[in-house]
Amino acid sequence: MPAITNKQQLLTQCQAALKKRFPLAVVDAPDEPRPLLEELIYAACREGSTAADADAGYARLRKAFIDWNEVRVSTVQEVGEVLRPLPGAGGRSKRIIGLLQEVFEDKYSFDLSELDKKGLKDTARKLRFYKEGVTDYAVAWVVQRSLGGHAIPLDEPTLRVLRRLGVVEEGEPESLEAVRASIEHVIAKARGPEFTDVMSVHAKELCTEKDPDCPACPLNRDCPYGIEHLAKKAGDAKPKKSR
Ligand code: SF4
């Protein structure tokens, strides 16, 4: 069977199993689409976290500051305190302030709506100019969630799960963009947002960085890392023969 079909089948099965295991992981789109700048700021909260945690952090940010200019002129510590307990709050705060500063210097406002009308590829290319605040994940996020295109944002927790599943090679020499393109090739556009949401919750709840809970994982029969991990645990648990 061609490798691409194997990868596609594996990820399809994984997504279905995770959706069943974490039915609340999939989050509906907001009633009103967020303007482009706000979607980028939301992406800075969402990368490396779950939808629920990012929603809560983003809501605290909106509540604590009058407008985006007040966020821009605040310190990293002040914004970070508002974002906490979102993990990596300090780094996210630095990124959000950096983005607002870059946009302000470029546009003398916080309005990126002009970029919104440029067409998908051009908008994505222009967003990458904001190097302080825009990562590959953020560009893929806005393509998936607000620009109506097909992209799968890949953050570190999602990549960890994909590596353990053997879908992304350990120490893969390709660039992140190349890895993302290979995943986008096997996940249909309509399934993209759900894939992103369930992977994030799985990475937080079961496939944690340290000591993943493989015995409780619905993917453990198809996951090379999980199979090895469980076999080792079973070996460790066997009583030692007395001589
Ligand atoms: S079996 Fe273990 S390593 Fe594999 S996806 Fe599940 S939790 Fe992660």
**pLDDT single digits (tens) 91-116:** 999 999 999 999 999 999 999 988 87
Cβ–ligand 1 contact at 219 (below 6 Å): yes
Domain segments of the chain as ranges: 1-27+150-168+175-232, 36-145
* Domain 36-145, CATH among 3.40.50.300, 3.20.20.70, 1.20.1250.20, 1.10.340.30: 1.10.340.30
Protein residue whose Cα sits closest to atom 8 of ligand 1: 207
225 lines ligand 1 (CB under 6 A): yes
pLDDT digits (tens, 9 = 90+) for 23-38: 877 777 777 789 999 9
Closest of 20, 1, 3 to residue 166, by C-alpha: 3
Q: Which distant-in-sequence residues (6+ apart) come within 8 Å of 155 by Cβ?
A: 47, 48, 137, 200
> How far is the centre of ligand 1, averaged over its atoms, from the C-alpha of 207 (Å)?
5
Query: pLDDT value at position 166?
Result: 94
Tell how far the Cα of 190 is from the centroid of ligand 1, in angstroms.
25
Whole-structure pTM value: 0.92
Of 105, 56, 109, nearest to 84 by C-alpha is: 56
pLDDT of 174 > 90? The answer is: no
Ligand 1 and 133: CB distance under 6 A? no
Q: Which secondary structure element, helix H or strand E, spans residue 222, and what is its range?
A: none
Q: Is the CB of 110 under 6 A from ligand 1?
A: no
* Distance from C-alpha of 141 to C-alpha of 34, rounded to nearest angstrom: 12
What is the band of 235 on the pLDDT scale with cuts at 50, 70, 90? Answer: confident
CATH number of 1-27+150-168+175-232, picked from 2.120.10.80, 2.60.40.3880, 1.10.1670.10, 3.30.360.10: 1.10.1670.10
Query: Could you report the per-residue pLDDT of 118-133, keeping only the tens digit for each?
Result: 788 899 999 999 998 8
Distance (Å, whole) CA 133 – CA 144: 18
User: Is any atom of ligand 1 closer than 6 Å to the C-beta of 140?
Assistant: no
- Cα–Cα separations (whole angstroms), residue 62 to 23, 57, 83, 173, 219: 28, 9, 10, 39, 37
Whole-number Å distance between alpha carbons of 183 and 138: 16
Q: What is the CA(17)–ligand 1 centre distance, in A?
A: 12
Contact assessment for residue 180 and residue 136, using Cβ atoms and an 8 Å cutoff:
yes
Closest CA to 62 of 31, 88, 22, 34: 34
Q: Judge whether residue 134 has pLDDT over 60.
A: yes
**pLDDT score for 233:** 83
Q: Is the peptide bond before 239 cis (omega within 30 degrees of 0)?
A: no
